[in-house]
Structure 1
Amino acid sequence: MRVLLTTAAWPSHYMFMVPLAWAFRSAGHEVRVAAQPHVVESVLTSGLVAVPVGPDLDFAQLHRKFVAGTDPALYRTRDAIITIFHRVAEMMTPDLVAFAGSWRPQLIVRDPVAFAASVAAEVVGAPLVRHAWGPDLYGTDPGKWLAHNVLERLGPTYELYGVSAPAAFDRLAVDPTPPSLRIDAPGESVPMEYVPYNGPGVVPPWVLEPPSRPRVLVTWGTFTSTATDQPEMFLVPKVLDALAGLDVEAVLAVTAAERELLGDVGSRARVVQDLPIHTVLPSCSAVIHHGGATTVLSAARFGVPQLTIPHLFEQRLNSDLLEAAGACVQLKAEHADVEGIRAAMTELLRDGAPYAAASRGLREEILAMPSLTEAVGRIEDRLPAGAGAASDG
């Protein structure tokens, strides 16, 4: 079977899809990854074949431009979000439809905001599957609202390629979230064990040594760090100041872009650049982050308690679910000063606190979920007759 994965402009969205892509390959299927040029390098380093679609686009730059050119009071309106994702879809559609028409995929798997995939799926008659990147936003009113409105705006594009707009983008989703964090989304879903993939890297020797003090990982999503013109969303310096007053070993995992924002870290933390966080999490007693799904599920996979300081809707949703499961302390942004962060971390690490046990419970849930291989089989079972046969291309 020919499987086309489609992702839109942001490497972290693609990384969520990599383990499933590997599972398709292991099952004998041919896999291609359609991505905007900004993501192509991430596809290549994951060992898969990339198909560039659309112009080179850094989604964070587009987002910043949109923020800078919009009245702050209007920026977070719903229309702004629709416009951004519709624009990305229109950029991707011509090249994506052309490739799909030539290669004829028998299944298309999209990241939740790769809306152009729906046009290509309708043109070639391929089933379309949504790969959630965490708790499935499409089970929430804002998520369903976004999908409906982007679908409506894409109406003329479907017509341009001689097909009708579907009633919904997709009716099957792959869901990597454990039961305690799951949202009931419209349509059928295939649960799948979350296997972290945070990119390639080299494991430093110190990771293998038991820490003498509680090791606390600090990570801040690149979107939160670089995609707005609001410096108060980058809280890492405050976090490091807060941890400096505690008897912990702080490890700060950053990208090159985030390192430029930090300035002098001094002795407040061990700074590691481009280190996949799943390599250090098993040695950690806690993790502090922005509430992004990658960190939420990666920490849950290893049973690590979490302190979240969310800003955006998706981050707040993830944090609310994690808090309800008892596995985190959530700190509202308005309370995230040095004293507030220090108090929250003190509570998270307190002897007898319930967060470690709840986090271990999430790990057990994840390990009990269907494996990647089982998920591929379940997807195959739901395809039209004959579509799931393995193929050499």
Structure 2
Amino acid sequence: MRVTLVGGGSRGDVQPLIPLAEGIRAAGHEVTIAASVDSEDLVTAHGLRFARMDVSINDQMRTDAGRAWIVDSAGRPFRELRHMREVYAETARPLADATLTLSGTADLFISGILTLDSVTSLAEHDGVAHSTALLCPFHPTADGRAGLTAQMPQVSPANMSRTRIGRWLLSRSVTQAGRLLRERLGMPETGPKGFVRALDTVPAALGASPLLVPTPRDWPSSVTVTGPWTLPVPERWRPPAALADFLDAGPAPIYLGFGSMSIVQPERIRDVATAAARAAGVRLVLSGTGLDGPDGDDVLGISDVPHAWLFPRTRAVVHHGGAGTTHAALLAGVPQLAVPHIADQPYWGRRIREEGLGTAPLPLNRLTVERLAERIRTLATSDDLSQRAQEAGEKARQEQGVSTAVDALGLSRS
């Protein structure tokens, strides 16, 4: 079977698709990943076929709209949705053009949440199957543990209301490319209702740990929480000498990295993180765009390093709250703190605290040296957090996310 996974968004949206694609390929299928130009090297380095979508998410994040989305959204959900619509308005046309080129190339399309609307219409037009590969919970539920926009962990009608509203608002922000695609294919417009209908009915594999996203009783049976889809450390990979020397030179450091979110505020991130780590009396490894290089004997800025290798060598992990980094810290068995910027990041920050895996999240708009130092100090000294993180990590490492997802998608080798 020809299977095409259609990724949308930044590296964090595409990287988990690689181990999933490898699992599908191992089951005997012909696999392609379609994603933005930023992801081409990442995908092809694993020997996977790549379909280029002619838009750069990294460049988009550097535009005025992209910078506003990251910097001006934390803690302001309605403002975030406005910024999000502006960003997707700017990328809708190239995304629609790129998605249209995939017509006739697959027997099964697997979309993410950002490409759900477009790929639903493409699959219908082509008369082929469609599934989704999700990285956080988007289906409405009364169970706050699995509710993206819920506010409390228990089961509550208020959670159901909030998650339904969140789904509807999301549908109004990410359907612009689909609208253009349907227009070019001569298909009737479905609008936000089409997005909601697709989310409720298309089979979904959710690449998250059940420890963080337990399956609610009120979800459709078409959703399977599989465990995370993670890349192992490449066999031939070796750490840069500067990083190896730094780790050997003293106690395990705190890691701080905000992934692709760091591209718009590297100077501020470096200054606040360095001052906070020194105030807390810990060593620091910084990771992100524009953060490379040493800063004395107690701070080292690095480029891209596999989280699966680095995180077990740290005392704790401070990150932006992306799904991939949250699960990498979970698997490493170390305490963590989320500094949410946008999108699903507040949810993961909340779940980290609710499961006793770290401190309460610190939203970007409240990030100061004093607040960060206080949380870092707790992460580095709390025996309870350390023990809980270790225990959860041991359980999470038993999950078989990729193989469970391949089974759930009906792609297991017969």
Q: Is this a same-fold pair by TM over 0.5?
A: yes
Counterparts of 1:189 and 1:322, CA distance in 2 = 22
Q: 1:366 aligns with which of 358, 377, 396?
A: 396
- Structure 2 CA distance for partners of 1:62 and 1:236, relative to 1, 3 Å: closer
Match of 1:172 in 2: 203
Counterparts of 1:157 and 1:361, CA distance in 2 = 47
Contact 2:322 2:345 in 1 (8 A): yes
Task: With the length of structure 1 as denominator, give the TM-score of the two structures.
Answer: 0.81
Overall identity of the aligned pairs, in % = 19
Counterparts of 2:406 and 2:49, CA distance in 1 = 19
Distance apart, 1:279 and its partner CA: 1.3
Aligned-residue CA RMSD (Å): 3.4
Counterparts of 2:28 and 2:360, CA distance in 1 = 43
Distance apart, 1:36 and its partner CA: 2.6
SS of the residue corresponding to residue 51 of structure 2 reads strand
Counterparts of 1:272 and 1:317, CA distance in 2 = 27
The reply to whether residue 98 of structure 1 matches residue 101 of structure 2 is yes
Counterparts of 1:259 and 1:157, CA distance in 2 = 39
- Structure 2 CA distance for partners of 1:122 and 1:150, relative to 1, 3 Å: farther
The reply to whether residue 253 of structure 1 matches residue 287 of structure 2 is yes
The reply to whether residue 181 of structure 1 matches residue 212 of structure 2 is yes
Counterparts of 1:7 and 1:30, CA distance in 2 = 17
Match of 1:384 in 2: none
Contact 1:108 1:129 in 2 (8 A): yes
Match of 1:385 in 2: none
Q: Deviations over 1:300-325 (max 9, x none)?
A: 01111012222324222110111101
Distance apart, 1:225 and its partner CA: 1.5
Contact 1:148 1:168 in 2 (8 A): no
- Structure 2 CA distance for partners of 1:294 and 1:186, relative to 1, 3 Å: same
- Structure 2 CA distance for partners of 1:243 and 1:198, relative to 1, 3 Å: farther
The reply to whether residue 22 of structure 1 matches residue 22 of structure 2 is yes
Give the letter for the 2:129 counterpart.
P
Map 1:382-393 onto structure 2 (within 5 A).
none
Distance apart, 1:35 and its partner CA: 1.9
Counterparts of 1:349 and 1:79, CA distance in 2 = 38
The reply to whether residue 266 of structure 1 matches residue 289 of structure 2 is no
Match of 1:203 in 2: 239
Give the letter for the 1:193 counterpart.
G
Distance apart, 1:290 and its partner CA: 2.0
SS of the residue corresponding to residue 128 of structure 1 reads strand
Q: 1:124 aligns with which of 99, 123, 126?
A: 126
Counterparts of 2:325 and 2:314, CA distance in 1 = 13
SS of the residue corresponding to residue 52 of structure 1 reads strand
Match of 2:33 in 1: 33
Which deviates more, 303-312 or 197-206? 197-206
Which deviates more, 192-201 or 340-349? 192-201
Q: 1:332 aligns with which of 353, 362, 387?
A: 362
Give the letter for the 2:103 counterpart.
A
Distance apart, 1:68 and its partner CA: 7.1
Counterparts of 1:331 and 1:155, CA distance in 2 = 36
Q: Deviations over 1:239-262 (max 9, x none)?
A: 2112124443322223xx3237x8
Structure 2 unaligned spans of 5+: 141-147, 149-162
Q: Deviations over 1:94-117 (max 9, x none)?
A: 33223332x2x1211122212432
The reply to whether residue 81 of structure 1 matches residue 84 of structure 2 is yes
- Structure 2 CA distance for partners of 1:355 and 1:17, relative to 1, 3 Å: same
Match of 1:148 in 2: 171
Counterparts of 2:267 and 2:337, CA distance in 1 = 16
Give the letter for the 2:19 counterpart.
P
Match of 1:215 in 2: 253
Higher relative contact order (CA 8 A, sep 6+): 1
SS of the residue corresponding to residue 99 of structure 1 reads coil
Distance apart, 1:194 and its partner CA: 1.7
**Residue-pair matches, total:** 370
Distance apart, 1:46 and its partner CA: 2.8
Q: Deviations over 1:164-218 (max 9, x none)?
A: 5453256222212222321759642222232433997532466597774132112
Match of 2:275 in 1: 241
Contact 1:85 1:113 in 2 (8 A): no
Match of 1:57 in 2: 56
Counterparts of 1:314 and 1:84, CA distance in 2 = 16
Give the letter for the 2:126 counterpart.
V
Contact 1:5 1:110 in 2 (8 A): yes
Contact 1:121 1:128 in 2 (8 A): yes
Contact 2:210 2:226 in 1 (8 A): no
Contact 2:55 2:94 in 1 (8 A): no
